Structures are given as structure tokens and as C-alpha cells.
């Protein structure tokens, strides 16, 4: 067995400094620049009023149905049956889940008989281990949920993580973080401990089960996610819609990034809920509703508002409108805007319109000028020439700011900063623009994004580290997904002309993969394929701990054996897969 020699440690330290498959930069919330942290930011009445939807507490909805609101972004729901209890959605991390479990245990000492996931979103699933306490508990979800969970640790994990933290305002101080729109805050951050239980029982269209002596219906209802379900308990006339209904205009598109959410499916799923004629509606965000008439009215208006946005957007598309024209054309009528539960505090009509356009037609808006783009530095240079110099470009941005044309001012200052990226006056003006935009913003996601971007102008590094995974989650990592991520982290510019075949062999359990680098592409294969240039052999757990930063690259290289090649060759190869820094 060839192991890492002491004489090569310094070389390897320099070669693979800071290497890891997933990047993470940690920063505390109070690290923000003092001038920004202490600044008074205006709050709108609409956003203040929304806080009433997640006042912290455990609320009894009806006999045997309780909902924990305000402990994190999502609600967790307790259902009591004759012989046991059921939990619907389990919070976003172990700390919040333990807090909720403690409250639920005060209500009933019955054994936990099952967990139900309404869908795959992180704030609903990552506290499962706190509720199960090491016991094997049946976990029910839709057939698509397992695959959707795997995508959370995916090739786009870094970009979506950063954009999510911005959208939810994770690193804003309490003065600036009013709430998260559909809950008080997102509990998932670089200090979180995640404890996932994968689904054990899945279904496709409908599943009728008995848990804890209680008859329960699980119904497939695509909407905010493609794996969304709603839960219905006939004996209690209680319906649990997941994220297909909450007290806000729905997030038909989310600015953290998502594949197209088919809004027609969403409205059809609301139809299915209405047909159940529930007396109690307990969403996974915001407060529950009581009364058949109230629930029917709310769900019907919710459904119709979604259909209105979809249908009028398609109508505008068929008029030849571009996305910029569509957002002026599609405006919700007063019949919807007058409803508090359709206020655009979380979802936004304009974003939905743009998403529907791209979901049906893609990125091209139909105008010839959009077929190609002018590189940003050239565009800035052209504006500099047009206005007679960089100083005049900055002056124009400042003049637009004075006239309260904040979006136009932002466009101009970005052109200036493309030419002078470290210009302090330019960065300060951009910060002021973003703060002004936030002050008049009634959508919490946009507000947080503006404020976080303003804060980032005062910091060198993005403070967006990854949450910590439980040991069970580390062990359950799918190595095939990991090697798919290797491929998209390949720095091809550092490997011009390189052709190399590297094998990774793992024990406990036995698995193997091959990474083939050729013609600027890194392709992964299951198994050891062809004649290898380097062959590394190590325990699966060690490699997975390296992936999630629980083990250093030096320890990995020192512990593994090399039937072909050696640790130095492997270190050189791994250095080609250092992930990019997110600079957007």
C-alpha cells in the first residue's frame, strides 16, 4: 500500500490549498459594516401586518390537530390518532425541530407512527431525525420527492444557496430582517445541523393509509413543486395543502432560482382541494383557516388569480409582447388585489409573468437585438464615450438618483463600476440606490435581495457557508450525484490538451467510478473503465466526509491507497475541480 510520504506534504498543501468540492465561507450576522447595520430602514405597513401570520405558538385547530407556527420558516403539524401520532413536515434543521418536538410532546405522549412530507423543500424536511430519535419511522411522500431531495445537493447547489440566503435575508441584522414573508426567518444557514430522513413509502397519484388508527388520504397535487401533495383527513374534515396555499400571492417563480413551475397544474391542484369541502385548512406556512365557506372562497380566489396571470400572459405572448411589455400588460384586477391573502408580500405577479414567458418560449424575446448581447465592458465603454468620459457616467447615475429614478440610476452605476470596480464613490452610490429601492419595496424577497446586495458592497467575501450534515446524511450521500458535480466544477482552461482517466474505488459499501478528462470535458462513469492513469482506493465514508468538508484533502490523500499512480498525481488531478467562487 502506497501512502502519502512526509516529504510531499508541503507540496500537496500548496497544490490543493483551499480545495474542496463544495465551497463555504463563514460569516456571522454581526460582521456587517457598522454604518449599514445601524442604519434605519423604513418598514411598510403591509410587511408589518404580515407578521400576524406567524406569531410563534402551537395552535389547536380542532380535536387532534395542532400546528406549530413561527418556530422557523415552515410550520410543523401534529395529528393525533387513537394509537399514535403523525407529523406533517418536520422543520428545516435539527435545532428548530427539537424545539417543536418538545412542545408536541407536552400535548401527547403517544408514539410517533409516521411522518409525511408535503414536498421536498429544505425548510420542511431537514429536521426529521429530531422527531424520530434514532427509531425507524415510516416516512410518506410522493414518488418524485427522493429525486427532488437529491437535487438539493446538486450541480447548482452553490448558486441556489447564495441566492437563497440573499432572498431570505439570512445575514441581515434584526433591524433589517423584518420577517421572511411566509415565516419569521429561514433557519437554514452555515450554523445549522441538518438531519434528513429519506421517504420510505411513496405513491404516484393517491394513497389511502391508516396511521395511528387514523384514515388519511395523500393526494398528488403539483404546484409550487412538482412533487407537492396535499393531505386530507376525512374524519376531521381537515386539509393540509403544503405550499400550494399560504397567506400571500403565491411564489409562482422564486428569485433564488427554480425550474419552471407549471402554474396551470397549480390551479388544477387547488380545484382538487376545493372539491374536498374542508372545514379546516392547515397550510405549511402562515396561519390555519376555519370554516367551509371561508376556505372555499380563499382557495377559489387563489386558483383564479393564478389562472388570470397565466391566461393573460399567454394572451399577451400571442399579441407578440416581450417580457418587459407583458409585465405592464398583466395586472391583477381589484377583485384579487383587495384580498389580504393575495398581497404580493412573497410571490410577485411580474416575476410570474416572466417565468411563464420563459417556461413556454425560452429566453429569446423575439426582438432582433436580443439575439446577441454586447459584452458588459464594451457596453460601459460605449456609454462612457457617449457621455464624454467616466466622470460624466458617474454624474449621470448620481443625477438619476437625485431624481429618484432608482432603477435607471442602478443601471448607470453598474456601467460605471464595470469600468471602475473598486471605485469607493461608485460603490457607495450603488449601496444608497439599493437601500432606497428596499425602502419602497413591499415584496419581502426583493427587499432582502436589495439590502443584502447593499451589505455585500462593504464586504470582500460572500458570507454564505453550507449547513452541516448529520452522520446519517453523510452516509446516505449518493456518490453518483457527487461525481456529476465533479464534471461541472472542471476548470478546463487549466487542462488544455489533457487526456486522463482516473479511477475512484470505495469500500463499505463497494462502489467505483471513473472520471475521464478529454477535449475539455470531464465525464463520470460508474465502475472502473479502461486503462487508468491514476487509481485511488479508500473507504466511502472518508470520501463523503471530504466532500462535505468534515475531512481535509490532506487526510484523504494520506489515508487512501494507490494501486496505480500516487497521491501527488491524484492531488494534481483534484486541483482541476476546485469550484468557482460565486461573484454575481
What tens digit of pLDDT does each residue of 419-428 get? 999 999 999 9
292-317 vs 263-275: helix axis angle to the nearest 10? 160
Start-end of H helices in 318-443: 323-329, 334-337, 349-361, 376-387, 390-402, 406-419, 424-439
User: What CATH number belongs to 373-456?
Assistant: 1.25.40.880
Average pLDDT in the chain:
89
Residue 3 has pLDDT above 60, yes or no: no
CATH topology of domain 55-240: Metallo-beta-lactamase; Chain A (3.60.15)
From the number of C-beta atoms within 10 Å of its C-beta (0-12, 13-18, 19+), residue 277 rates as exposed
Q: Is CATH 2.60.120.260 the right assignment for the domain spanning 6-24+467-577?
A: no
Report the SS3 class of residue 236.
helix
DSSP SS3 for 240: strand
- Give 223-276 pLDDT, tens digit per residue: 999 999 999 999 999 999 999 999 999 999 999 988 888 999 999 999 999 999
Tell me the per-residue pLDDT of 549-579, one tens digit each, with 9 for 90 and over: 888 899 999 999 999 999 999 999 999 987 6
**Phi, psi of 288, rounded to the nearest 5 degrees:** -75, 160
- Quick one: average pLDDT of 501-521? 94
Residue closest to 59 by CA, chosen among 328, 219, 286, 222 = 286
What is the side-by-side strand order in the sheet with 561-564?
521-526, 511-518, 500-507, 534-539, 561-564
Q: Does the pLDDT value for residue 109 go beyond 80?
A: yes
Which band of pLDDT confidence, cut at 50, 70 and 90, is reported for residue 153? low
Can you read off the three cell numbers belonging to residue 501? 482517466
Q: How confident is the model at residue 34 (pLDDT cuts 50, 70, 90)?
A: very low
Closest CA to 444 of 78, 147, 117, 51: 51
| Whether pLDDT at 328 is above 60 | yes
Q: Is the pLDDT of residue 15 over 80?
A: no
pLDDT digits (tens, 9 = 90+) for 413-447: 999 999 999 999 999 999 999 999 999 899 999 99
* 3-class secondary-structure state, position 569: helix
The dihedrals phi and psi of 522, each to the nearest 5 degrees, come to: -110, 115
Cβ-based neighbours of 402, under 8 Å, separated by 6 or more: none
Do the bridges between strand 229-233 and strand 214-220 make them parallel or antiparallel, or are there none, so unpaired? antiparallel
Say if residue 463's pLDDT is above 80: no
Q: What is the mean pLDDT of residues 133-137?
A: 94
Between 60 and 42, whose confidence is greater? 60
Three-state secondary-structure class, residue 230: strand
All three cell numbers of 165, joined, read: 440566503
Alpha carbon distances (Å) from 34 to 31, 40, 165: 8, 12, 20
Query: Which cell numbers in the block locate residue 148?
Result: 427532488
Residue 369 DSSP label: G
**Between 83 and 39, the higher pLDDT residue:** 83
Q: Where are the domains of the chain?
A: 6-24+467-577, 55-240, 373-456
The H or E element that residue 99 is part of is helix 94-107
> What does the pLDDT look like over 116-132, one tens digit per residue?
999 999 999 999 999 99
Q: Residue 199 above 80 pLDDT?
A: yes
* Mean pLDDT of the 305-327 span: 97
Q: How confident is the model at residue 325 (pLDDT cuts 50, 70, 90)?
A: very high
Q: What is the pLDDT of residue 460?
A: 63
Tell me if 6-24+467-577 shares its fold with 55-240: no
| pLDDT confidence of residue 362 | 93
Amino acid at each position: 500500500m502506497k501512502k502519502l510520504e512526509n516529504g510531499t506534504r508541503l507540496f500537496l498543501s500548496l497544490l490543493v490549498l483551499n480545495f474542496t468540492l463544495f465551497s463555504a465561507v463563514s460569516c456571522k450576522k454581526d460582521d456587517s459594516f457598522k454604518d449599514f447595520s445601524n442604519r434605519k430602514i423604513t418598514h411598510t405597513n403591509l410587511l408589518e401586518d404580515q407578521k400576524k401570520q406567524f406569531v410563534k405558538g402551537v395552535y389547536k385547530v380542532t380535536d387532534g390537530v395542532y400546528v406549530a407556527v413561527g418556530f422557523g420558516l415552515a410550520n410543523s403539524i401534529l395529528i393525533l390518532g387513537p394509537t399514535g401520532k403523525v407529523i406533517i413536515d418536520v422543520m428545516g434543521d435539527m435545532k428548530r425541530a427539537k424545539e417543536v418536538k418538545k412542545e408536541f410532546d407536552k400535548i401527547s405522549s403517544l408514539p410517533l407512527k409516521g411522518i409525511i412530507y408535503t414536498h421536498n423543500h429544505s425548510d420542511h424536511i431537514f429536521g426529521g431525525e429530531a422527531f424520530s430519535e434514532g427509531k425507524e419511522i415510516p416516512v410518506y411522500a410522493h414518488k418524485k420527492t427522493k429525486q427532488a431531495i437529491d437535487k438539493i445537493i446538486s450541480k447548482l447547489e452553490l448558486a441556489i444557496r447564495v441566492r437563497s440566503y440573499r432572498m431570505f435575508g439570512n445575514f441581515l441584522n434584526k433591524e433589517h430582517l423584518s420577517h421572511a414573508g411566509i415565516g419569521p426567518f429561514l433557519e437554514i444557514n452555515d450554523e445549522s445541523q441538518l438531519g434528513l430522513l429519506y421517504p420510505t413509502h411513496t405513491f404516484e397519484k393517491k394513497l389511502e393509509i391508516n396511521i395511528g388508527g387514523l384514515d388519511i388520504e395523500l393526494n398528488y397535487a403539483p404546484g409550487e413543486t412538482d412533487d407537492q401533495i396535499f393531505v386530507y383527513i376525512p374524519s376531521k374534515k381537515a386539509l393540509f395543502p403544503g405550499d400550494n396555499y399560504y397567506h400571500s400571492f403565491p411564489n409562482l417563480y422564486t428569485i433564488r432560482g427554480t425550474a419552471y413551475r407549471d402554474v396551470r397544474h397549480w390551479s388544477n391542484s387547488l380545484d382538487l382541494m376545493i372539491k374536498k369541502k374542508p372545514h379546516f385548512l392547515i397550510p405549511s406556512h402562515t396561519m390555519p383557516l376555519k370554516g367551509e365557506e371561508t376556505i372555499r372562497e380563499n382557495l377559489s380566489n387563489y386558483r383564479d388569480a393564478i389562472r388570470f396571470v397565466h391566461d393573460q400572459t399567454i394572451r399577451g405572448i400571442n399579441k407578440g409582447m416581450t417580457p418587459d411589455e407583458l409585465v405592464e400588460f398583466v395586472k391583477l384586477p381589484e377583485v384579487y388585489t383587495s384580498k389580504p391573502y393575495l398581497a404580493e408580500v412573497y410571490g410577485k405577479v411580474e416575476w410570474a409573468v416572466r417565468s411563464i414567458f420563459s417556461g413556454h418560449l425560452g429566453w429569446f424575446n423575439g426582438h432582433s437585438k436580443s439575439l446577441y448581447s454586447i459584452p458588459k465592458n464594451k457596453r460601459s465603454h460605449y456609454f462612457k464615450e457617449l457621455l464624454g468620459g467616466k466622470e460624466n457616467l458617474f454624474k449621470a447615475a448620481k443625477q438619476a438618483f437625485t431624481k429618484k429614478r432608482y432603477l435607471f440610476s442602478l443601471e448607470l452605476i453598474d456601467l460605471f463600476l464595470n469600468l471602475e470596480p473598486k471605485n469607493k464613490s461608485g460603490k457607495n452610490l450603488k449601496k444608497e440606490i439599493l437601500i432606497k429601492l428596499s425602502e419602497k419595496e413591499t415584496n419581502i424577497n426583493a427587499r432582502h435581495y436589495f439590502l443584502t446586495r447593499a451589505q455585500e458592497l462593504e464586504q470582500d467575501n460572500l458570507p454564505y457557508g453550507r449547513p452541516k450534515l448529520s452522520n446519517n446524511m453523510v452516509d446516505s450521500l449518493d456518490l453518483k450525484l457527487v461525481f456529476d458535480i465533479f464534471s461541472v466544477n472542471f476548470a478546463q482552461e487549466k487542462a488544455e490538451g489533457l487526456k486522463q482517466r482516473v479511477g475512484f474505488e470505495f469500500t463499505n459499501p463497494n462502489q467505483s467510478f471513473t472520471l475521464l478528462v478529454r477535449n475539455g470535458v470531464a465525464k463520470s462513469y460508474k465502475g472502473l473503465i479502461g486503462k487508468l492513469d491514476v487509481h485511488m482506493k479508500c473507504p466511502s465514508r472518508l470520501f463523503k466526509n471530504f466532500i462535505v468538508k468534515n475531512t481535509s484533502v490532506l487526510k484523504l490523500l494520506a489515508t487512501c491507497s494507490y494501486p496505480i499512480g500516487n497521491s501527488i498525481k491524484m492531488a494534481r488531478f483534484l486541483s482541476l475541480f476546485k469550484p468557482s467562487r460565486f461573484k454575481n
